[in-house]
Structure 1
């Protein structure tokens, strides 16, 4: 609303101005006493001057300019030299020689400050600067026009105001110009309208909405028909900013009655939608925002779309928000696109689509690392990762967040989640430190109760399993909001105590008590894991199979586990089938790389070495080096090459594991594989070197025993 809604009248036609000024000059010349003319001016000069004026009357400006140039360049004194300079400027202006015109006008002002042509020269100089795209100089020139000619002064001030508004001059100075115009008597209706409108806009931009409304209301009856909608719109906006939402609704509805332009009609609809929201009727705002958002020519299309997305989020219509953002995000500039990218990721997390949400948050942070939402995105991503059981990844984000300067509320939540992550990772001392820190630094914080709960959990996880079961049992039997979680956690405590037989009925109790509980899939998955620990693959398969119809994280996890079980029992075709189902159904799932790796291992076990090698190579090509499956893929590709008889190539491949991934748990295994291959090649010294490396990384265990056997 800082831009002028419509242009001011342009410069009066040059022909009209020339004729008017010409009559004045000729009249003045005719009144000069002959004696003065004869004694003051050379007859040739006076004749040339009159000749030039005649050429101007016939619009022969180029010829007139040549004659006037001779007059002004003649060193002989000439009483009408100021007039000759002025008309020279006018001719050059008409010839589109803005620089030359400005030079002539400036010479009048500089050399003849008392000339009757002074104000008109200043006015013409302003127009020359406008044409030369120099608004600052134009404003300065118009300001030189005096009040000797009130009409010319008013017109010059209106031009000044227009330029100052259009080119963003100091608002206070701009307001002063229009207020000075309003104080001038004899303004025409259109001039009063323009001044009131611009003063109103200035007051509006200064957040003086009551004063702005007064000026807009004075401008409305003076407005020409094609400008009434504009003024009505400003009235509605002023009422809205004054929090008079009901009155604003009425005023904005009247914009449509005043024959607005399509652009203004859309702006009014947009503001009307906000009146509905502020008036407590958000549902009525949606169709208004949508009408504007669906119009590709609307000047407020992006604003309406953005607010429609916010409205859908506030109404908890997350699916609609995700769909709309996906459809429109390409329309927005980078900063707005970043905000929408964040909201989409957030909406996905609210929908429980954790994998997709995590990917969306990662994309947001990669594309917009310095976005104002970056810290909140890291926190939200950590929450998603926690929900998926990816505690280390969550901890990385939270640690980075705590190191930054952030809000107290976000910092408290981050500290709590860090303790939670350490707890789930088994870092009990660290977890205790963070939970105690939450209680100490935020004694009245929202996370205090949860931190106390987790501190109690740490005590059980430290090894006092019986105390843990008693505490969780007490909570599980209560009506606390944590009852379901405590019951589930009891099963996990039993699992940690290796009491898998006892853990299964606890999880089963959870499933029967909370059949729709948020941890249902997790409980089924844990039952499957318990049965695996109990070596009952049949019951494990039964548990995992119940997750194949789920829609959350554990759907693909269960499939992967079913595949792993099938591979372990030698049913390699079934294993491959499960892995391929993961890839086909959820190609963006984090498990995909592991599933493809498992397919390669199964093919290796089936002795289809060519297919296995192809699978491993495709994984290495398509996934980033940081992917969790990459080190093992390199190890298995090396094994496959060795099995194919390409031992040298295989050795080079397996050695990439310790070189590229020195912290990988597969380093010792990679060296062992290389040692065996070197031994097969008859290169005993290299084999010995490799076995020694094995002992460096794994001094105990089966590989260490094998290494020592070969080194004897």
Structure 2
């Protein structure tokens, strides 16, 4: 912090002797703002506005100032006056709607002397800097210190969203959304939190079918909500992905096999195959997988399970089995064999050859 302060003081001294071009002044202020040096950024934006009242980017500088007054000093009056100046002096600026919205935001969320709002804006700045863990920590302070604040439920929802979308902390995100429903049952964010929780479940390996069901349940529960359509699209994508077997073994290990029997048994398609004796464990697994992938196309319904039972000598000596439930990773099991069984299978394998 001290080196930055010395640099700032030095630049101010230089600026006192030789005025910087307006664009360079603004660029410097923007750089400070983007890097989280909010106090210095506030001073630089003020200096820019004072020296350049007619510059095309002065409305932007005022807009930055109004937010920085709150996040750095908690000065709500200065923030309101700055936004009011932007609206009054630059009525044609495209930033006027944002300035009006910010004034309304200040008026609505000024409870607890504006301290929750100050934390909210700090967290917002941290998000823009991609410092997501730090943003979550600041938002959590709102929830813990000011649970009755108007922004408390907003902060909790934002925490869950960051955990899900930015940090990939699916379990924590789902817990946060559940807490929102429990602690703030009247929150305007409940519907979105329900959608986010279902979407987050889709990120958990092996939970795709459950997530698809949750998303379809959401769409049925909230058919008129704009998120209902997105929920159905996500559910369909998860279902499609869940009905495809992802290979785990290299195809070069696949060996020839013969399908001895196959058919539907309830909600499972069962197949028996015979493979050559003397294969390695990896070759058995790869061959079972190949049969699993190819034979799964014959099941009655996409959601049906598939089982492949492998034999060295059908139907006497089992080689192993592969089972697959749509939406989950296939399970492979190879039988352990004793030497005497291996010799017997090799002998029978030779006798069975044409």
TM-score surpassing 0.5? no
Larger proportion of strand:
2
Larger Rg: 1
Higher relative CO (Cα under 8 Å, sequence separation at least 6) belongs to 2
Larger proportion of helix:
1
